[in-house]
Protein backbone atom coordinates (compact mmCIF):
# COMPACT_ATOMS: atom_id res chain seq x y z
CA UNK A 1 0.00 0.00 0.00
CA UNK A 2 1.25 3.50 -0.84
CA UNK A 3 1.15 6.52 1.47
CA UNK A 4 -1.11 8.34 -1.00
CA UNK A 5 -3.79 5.79 -0.14
CA UNK A 6 -3.88 6.63 3.57
CA UNK A 7 -2.70 10.27 3.83
CA UNK A 8 -4.91 13.27 4.51
CA UNK A 9 -4.95 15.31 1.34
CA UNK A 10 -6.76 18.45 2.41
CA UNK A 11 -3.92 20.36 4.03
CA UNK A 12 -4.02 23.88 5.44
CA UNK A 13 -0.73 25.75 4.92
CA UNK A 14 0.63 28.91 6.53
CA UNK A 15 3.27 31.28 5.20
CA UNK A 16 6.49 32.13 7.05
CA UNK A 17 5.38 35.76 7.44
CA UNK A 18 1.94 34.89 8.84
CA UNK A 19 1.36 35.85 12.44
CA UNK A 20 1.37 33.11 15.08
CA UNK A 21 -2.14 34.16 16.09
CA UNK A 22 -3.34 33.35 12.56
CA UNK A 23 -1.60 29.97 12.64
CA UNK A 24 -3.08 29.15 16.06
CA UNK A 25 -6.54 30.13 14.82
CA UNK A 26 -6.17 27.81 11.82
CA UNK A 27 -5.04 24.98 14.10
CA UNK A 28 -8.12 25.49 16.27
CA UNK A 29 -10.51 25.75 13.30
CA UNK A 30 -9.17 22.60 11.66
CA UNK A 31 -8.55 20.72 14.93
CA UNK A 32 -4.89 20.02 14.08
CA UNK A 33 -1.71 20.33 16.09
CA UNK A 34 0.60 21.26 13.24
CA UNK A 35 0.74 23.12 9.96
CA UNK A 36 3.13 22.95 7.04
CA UNK A 37 4.77 26.25 6.18
CA UNK A 38 4.89 27.03 2.48
CA UNK A 39 6.42 29.73 0.37
CA UNK A 40 6.38 29.98 -3.44
CA UNK A 41 4.64 26.58 -3.59
CA UNK A 42 7.49 24.93 -1.67
CA UNK A 43 7.54 23.39 1.78
CA UNK A 44 9.93 25.54 3.84
CA UNK A 45 9.04 24.60 7.40
CA UNK A 46 6.67 23.00 9.83
CA UNK A 47 4.89 24.60 12.79
CA UNK A 48 3.43 22.70 15.72
CA UNK A 49 1.33 23.77 18.66
CA UNK A 50 4.34 22.84 20.76
CA UNK A 51 6.51 25.29 18.77
CA UNK A 52 4.02 28.03 19.64
CA UNK A 53 4.01 27.10 23.33
CA UNK A 54 7.69 26.31 23.85
CA UNK A 55 9.50 28.44 21.29
CA UNK A 56 7.18 31.43 21.27
CA UNK A 57 5.26 31.83 24.52
CA UNK A 58 8.12 30.59 26.71
CA UNK A 59 10.38 33.21 25.07
CA UNK A 60 7.84 35.97 25.60
CA UNK A 61 6.75 36.22 21.97
CA UNK A 62 3.13 37.12 21.38
CA UNK A 63 0.57 36.41 18.72
CA UNK A 64 2.04 39.10 16.46
CA UNK A 65 5.32 37.19 16.12
CA UNK A 66 5.88 35.63 12.72
CA UNK A 67 5.69 31.92 11.99
CA UNK A 68 9.30 31.97 10.72
CA UNK A 69 10.52 32.94 14.20
CA UNK A 70 9.51 29.61 15.74
CA UNK A 71 8.92 27.10 12.92
CA UNK A 72 11.14 24.09 12.38
CA UNK A 73 13.13 24.58 9.20
CA UNK A 74 14.56 21.08 9.00
CA UNK A 75 11.51 19.39 7.56
CA UNK A 76 11.35 15.64 7.25
CA UNK A 77 8.93 14.37 4.63
CA UNK A 78 7.97 11.34 2.60
CA UNK A 79 6.89 10.85 -0.99
CA UNK A 80 3.33 10.05 -1.95
CA UNK A 81 4.44 6.87 -3.72
CA UNK A 82 6.45 5.55 -0.76
CA UNK A 83 5.39 2.24 0.76
CA UNK A 84 3.37 2.48 3.98
CA UNK A 85 5.68 0.10 5.87
CA UNK A 86 8.78 2.07 4.85
CA UNK A 87 7.25 5.39 5.98
CA UNK A 88 6.09 3.88 9.28
CA UNK A 89 9.61 2.64 10.04
CA UNK A 90 11.08 6.03 9.07
CA UNK A 91 8.61 7.89 11.29
CA UNK A 92 9.34 5.48 14.16
CA UNK A 93 13.09 6.05 13.75
CA UNK A 94 12.54 9.82 13.70
CA UNK A 95 10.08 9.54 16.62
CA UNK A 96 7.52 11.77 14.87
CA UNK A 97 3.76 11.42 14.79
CA UNK A 98 3.20 13.09 11.44
CA UNK A 99 5.04 13.80 8.20
CA UNK A 100 4.30 16.06 5.25
CA UNK A 101 3.78 14.12 2.02
CA UNK A 102 5.22 15.52 -1.21
CA UNK A 103 5.14 14.37 -4.81
CA UNK A 104 8.31 13.75 -6.82
CA UNK A 105 8.38 17.46 -7.76
CA UNK A 106 8.52 18.12 -3.99
CA UNK A 107 5.12 19.81 -3.98
CA UNK A 108 3.08 19.29 -0.83
CA UNK A 109 0.18 16.91 -1.48
CA UNK A 110 -0.82 15.82 2.03
CA UNK A 111 0.11 14.83 5.56
CA UNK A 112 0.30 11.38 7.06
CA UNK A 113 -0.16 10.92 10.79
CA UNK A 114 -0.29 8.21 13.39
CA UNK A 115 -4.09 8.36 13.06
CA UNK A 116 -3.92 7.65 9.33
CA UNK A 117 -1.88 4.53 10.03
CA UNK A 118 -4.27 3.40 12.76
CA UNK A 119 -7.20 3.66 10.34
CA UNK A 120 -5.35 2.09 7.40
CA UNK A 121 -5.70 -1.53 8.43
CA UNK A 122 -1.92 -1.96 8.11
CA UNK A 123 -1.45 -3.41 11.60
CA UNK A 124 2.28 -4.08 11.34
CA UNK A 125 3.06 -0.57 10.15
CA UNK A 126 0.80 0.95 12.80
CA UNK A 127 2.41 -1.08 15.57
CA UNK A 128 5.97 -0.25 14.46
CA UNK A 129 5.14 3.45 14.30
CA UNK A 130 3.38 3.47 17.66
CA UNK A 131 6.31 1.75 19.34
CA UNK A 132 8.73 4.24 17.78
CA UNK A 133 6.91 7.41 18.79
CA UNK A 134 5.98 6.09 22.23
CA UNK A 135 9.57 5.13 23.07
CA UNK A 136 11.12 6.73 26.12
CA UNK A 137 13.28 9.75 25.43
| pLDDT at position 13 | 95
| pLDDT at position 36 | 95
Contact 84/122 with Cβ under 8 angstroms?
A: yes
Contact 30/59 with Cβ under 8 angstroms?
A: no
Q: What is the domain range of residue 10?
A: 3-133
Count the domains in the chain.
1
**Predicted TM-score of the model (pTM):** 0.81
CATH number, residue 53: 3.10.580.10
pLDDT along the chain (137 residues), means of 10: 92 96 96 91 90 92 95 94 91 87 91 82 60 57
Amino acid sequence: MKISEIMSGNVCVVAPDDRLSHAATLMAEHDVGSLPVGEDQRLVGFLTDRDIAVRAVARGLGGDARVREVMSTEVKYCFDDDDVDHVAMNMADLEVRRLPVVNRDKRLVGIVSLGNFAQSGERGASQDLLEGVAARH
